[in-house]
Amino acid sequence: MLDTSIRTGEVYVMNVKSITDRYNRALGYTPAVAALVATLTLFINFFVPLFVGIFDSVAANRLEESVELTSVYGVALGTILVFIVIAGMFAINLPLRIQQYLESQSG
């Protein structure tokens, strides 16, 4: 995408439209992922009791009615969820895979 002139040492950007198209797509993906993570965080009061209900139904009922789960623990669990999503993306090397996919589509 970048070309350097040997004589002058100047750097030229080639195929600017392709770069801006990728940037605009990324502007759409980022809020979509953030909205998904935020939605999962807001429904933490549903997911945690569902998982705990496998082991203990009484504790699951208490968690469903818990105010702390949505406030203090919800923030902590939401933060953990965000880091898990980000770590998962880097573990599968998602940015490289998206770049390779987009290059294969344009080429």
Q: What are phi and psi of 50, to 5 degrees?
A: -65, -45
Residue type (1 letter), 38: A
What is the C-alpha to C-alpha distance for residues 10 and 6, in angstroms, rounded to an integer?
8
What pLDDT, in 10s, does the model give residues 77-94? Answer: 777 877 888 888 777 887
What pLDDT, in 10s, does the model give residues 13-48? Answer: 667 677 777 777 777 777 787 778 777 777 777 778
Number of domains the chain contains: 1
What pLDDT, in 10s, does the model give residues 45-66? Answer: 777 888 888 998 888 888 778 7
Domain extent at residue 28: 2-106
Q: What are phi and psi of 36, to 5 degrees?
A: -65, -45
C-beta separation of 29 from 36 below 8 A: no
- Residue tagged 């203990």 (tokens): 56
Phi-psi region of 13 (alpha: psi -120 to 50; beta: other; left: phi over 0): beta
